[in-house]
Structure 1
């Protein structure tokens, strides 16, 4: 068949077969005839020049190519659903929604506080928060599933553009009953000799930098707890299990009587967070305003936090 146009109907049939495993069940799901399903599948395979299913014992078994294609088809239907939902909101004159991606640790207090403060400007504004690793939320922005995401360098997604950035420093979280809690001033790697440490997972760039700094200072890391997130590191330190070195943006969420916070300096430690949007797409005034607001909020909040640390 020449010049066959790929249609949503072809993709709906494909998705139904993937879900049910047979043309008959797919036809029932779509409320069409089984021959119509078979015809649509044949046209799809011809249009793509791919063998998508093997016929085995009355079942349609997906090929590897079909499995890979299905992931993209699912993304396409997610995008269509978002378009339909957006159109519904626009028809109803519903408030705008900001879709923001951030790691779990920032979604604990920092992002909610920023959104709460910003919503005072736009009481009708709605928010959607997706939590995940930097690589994940960056990919969601590149796929158009999020308007904005917070990434920490060196993480960078090729499908995104950097809108603006802010920086954070390192802080040492020390259980109040640990002897180090009585030591004033700025800490360095040498101060952590023999201290039980709460550290991030082994593949974390932050952990690599800290471990290298400790080894350079002649300190062999004594890892008491290995955690998956910065928030978990802070939590374990607060529980008295060890000393954690994390960025101040996360640490300030755990200012409690059970811990002491001290500035921590590592040579070459420059923690930069980027706010990223979909590459090549004009940024809406609302997203630009929110991003500028976030950077200003972070800088003001960190300035006050640093003053509290130095006033101790």
Structure 2
């Protein structure tokens, strides 16, 4: 920032006094951002992104440029789904479309921060934060080596997983807990690696 650490501390204290809220927890030689600081940062980023988008929009109008649309999606959608979506948007609006990739959680952040107008994600989504419409559906699959005993089965059910070590993907999502609850309902305690 080109200013000294004490000057930064003074600016932060002035900001907290002006806002009337504490942004950081201070102890000894440590300073830790509180939830209020992260919320303020998110809102400031959103405001700055909106100003950047407004400036770009005005520039595009002045120069008769096409509108730009950003779509946020996990990279797995980049192979089939996203190219189809981009082609439809481009054909119907003649807009320039760019894609932003990330995790499902990052997709939501891109939308909330205004870095993308559209996102491809998965449920559950907080209806107070997002407007959404179904795009498609997917099923969970069990992946295993071709020589595994499951290769002879057409469908793997919860009781088949008894005693199997499971590697779970994206444990932070609700689908993770739903899968394990389904196993427990079937009387199988999941063995998670």
TM range (shorter): 0.5 to 0.7
Deviations 1:190-227 (A, max 9, x none): 22233342212443322212222222323332334xxx
Given the alignment of the two structures, is residue 84 of structure 1 paired with residue 64 of structure 2, yes or no? no
Q: Distance in 2 between matches of 1:160 and 1:49?
A: 28
Given the alignment of the two structures, is residue 152 of structure 1 paired with residue 134 of structure 2, yes or no? no
Which residue is 1:189 aligned to? 158
Which residue is 2:182 aligned to? 213
Q: Distance in 2 between matches of 1:120 and 1:143?
A: 23
Given the alignment of the two structures, is residue 20 of structure 1 paired with residue 2 of structure 2, yes or no? yes
Residue-pair matches, total: 172
Q: Distance in 2 between matches of 1:119 and 1:140?
A: 19
Matches within 5 A, 1:109-124: 109-115=79-85, 117-118=87-88, 121=91, 124=94
Given the alignment of the two structures, is residue 101 of structure 1 paired with residue 72 of structure 2, yes or no? yes
Which residue is 2:168 aligned to? 199
Which residue is 1:58 aligned to? none
Shift of 1:149: 1.7
Matches within 5 A, 1:39-188: 48=18, 69=40, 72-107=43-78, 109-115=79-85, 117-118=87-88, 121=91, 124-183=94-153, 185-188=154-157
Q: List gaps (5 residues or longer) in structure 2.
A: 5-10, 23-32
Deviations 1:143-172 (A, max 9, x none): 433211233222215232224453322333
Q: Of the two, which has the highest radius of gyration?
A: 1
Q: Distance in 2 between matches of 1:190 and 1:105?
A: 30
Shift of 1:51: 10
Greater relative CO (CA pairs within 8 A, separation 6+): 1
Q: Distance in 2 between matches of 1:92 and 1:121?
A: 21
Contact 2:66 2:96 in 1 (8 A): yes
Q: Distance in 1 between matches of 2:41 and 2:126?
A: 26
Q: Distance in 1 between matches of 2:108 and 2:182?
A: 29
Q: Distance in 1 between matches of 2:121 and 2:167?
A: 23
Contact 2:49 2:113 in 1 (8 A): no
* Structure with the larger strand share: 1
Q: Output the TM-score relative to the length of structure 1.
A: 0.44
Q: Distance in 1 between matches of 2:21 and 2:174?
A: 42
Instruction: Decide whether aligned partners of structure 1 residues 146 and 82 sit closer, same or farther in structure 2, where only a CA change above 3 A counts.
Output: same
Deviations 1:23-60 (A, max 9, x none): xxxxxxxxxxxxxxxxxx9xx97xx56699xxxxxxxx
Shift of 1:70: 5.6
Q: Output the TM-score relative to the length of structure 2.
A: 0.66
Q: Distance in 2 between matches of 1:201 and 1:49?
A: 37
Q: Distance in 1 between matches of 2:105 and 2:48?
A: 22
